[in-house]
Structure 1
Amino acid sequence: MKLLYLAPLASRPGAAAAETRLAAEDGHRVLLLAEGGPKWEGRDLDPRIETVWLDTFSMNAAEPLLISLCRRRIPLGVLRRLGRPAEPLARRWRRSVVKPLDRDLSRRTAAMREAHRLARIGDTVREFAPDLLVLGEGAAIELGVHFVPELLDHRPETVTAYAYERGAAA
C-alpha cells in the first residue's frame, strides 16, 4: 500500500517521524511530504521513507529596487546623517512609510509561499496516487480542501486519516 504523509508546516515532526517509521515497518511504501528545516534535526527518519521537502520558508517576495531606494534607503540614510534632531522624523517615516511596505511584503511572501506549497502538494499527490493519505497536522487539513476532492474523484478508494494507526487502512 502507498501511504502519503503530509506535514506542510512540520508542526509535529516527532509524530511524523514515528508514524512514518511505523508505516514502513508495516511494509507500506511511505512518502513524507513536509516542510524541511531545523525542526527535523534530531528526528531520525527511517531510511525506507521517501521524502519531499517543500522548503517554502526559504522563499521571500522581493521588493522592487526603486521602491527600496526611494522609500527606505535614501530617506532613512539622509535622516540618519542629520543625526539626533531628525530622529522623530525618522520614527514617523518608519511608521507611516516603511511599516506599510513591510506589511505588503509580508502579504506577498505569504501568498507566494502558499501558492508554491499548494502546487507542490497537488503535483505530488497526483504523481504518487496514494492508497492512504495521512493529513498529519492542522495545516494539512486546511490545505486538503484544495486537493483531496480531486484525489477522491480519481481514486475513491483512497483512505484519509489524521494519524497512521496499524490496521486502520485495512
Structure 2
Amino acid sequence: MFSHDEVGREFIHALKYRGERAIARWLGESLALAHAAELRSHLPVDTVTWAPTTAAHRRARGFDQAETLARATAKALRVRPVRLLRRLGSTAQSGAGRADRLAGPGFDCRARAAGRRILLVDDVVTTGATLRAATAALVGAGAAAVHVAACARRGRDRVSAGA
C-alpha cells in the first residue's frame, strides 16, 4: 500500500481522474502480490469484489475505479470478480470532512455473498469508513470471511510504499 502523497497519489490520480486504466493492471497485480501470502495463510478467497463509487462519479469518469482495480486484482489472483455491493445514497466521500467521512456511505449486499471468502478492494483508505461499511454489509449477508485491500492510505496512519 502506498501513502497517498507523491508517487502513490500520482498513481491513483492517473487512474481515477485521468482515466489511465492501464495502470489498474499494475496496481491490481501489486495488490494481489501484497496480499497473496496473507491469503494463503488463511482460507483462500474465492471472490473479489469492490466498494462501488457513486453513480455520479461513475458517469463522470466513465468507469468505477474500484471495480477496475478489483477486476485486475481478481485476474492476478485467478479468482472470479463479482459485483456484490450496491452503494446506498449518492453522497461522495471525496471532499467531505472527517465527521462526514466517518458517517460513511451505506451498502446493500446481494445474497450471493453467503458462505464466500471475499477480498474487498478499494482505491484509497482515508478514515476506513467505506471499507467498514462494505465489510459490514458483506458479513451481514453471510460472507464466511472478508479481507480488505487498498492501493493507498491517507491521513495520520500512513504506510510507506515499501511496507
TM-score (ref. length: structure 2)? 0.32
Higher strand share: 2
Higher helix share: 1
TM-score (ref. length: structure 1)? 0.31
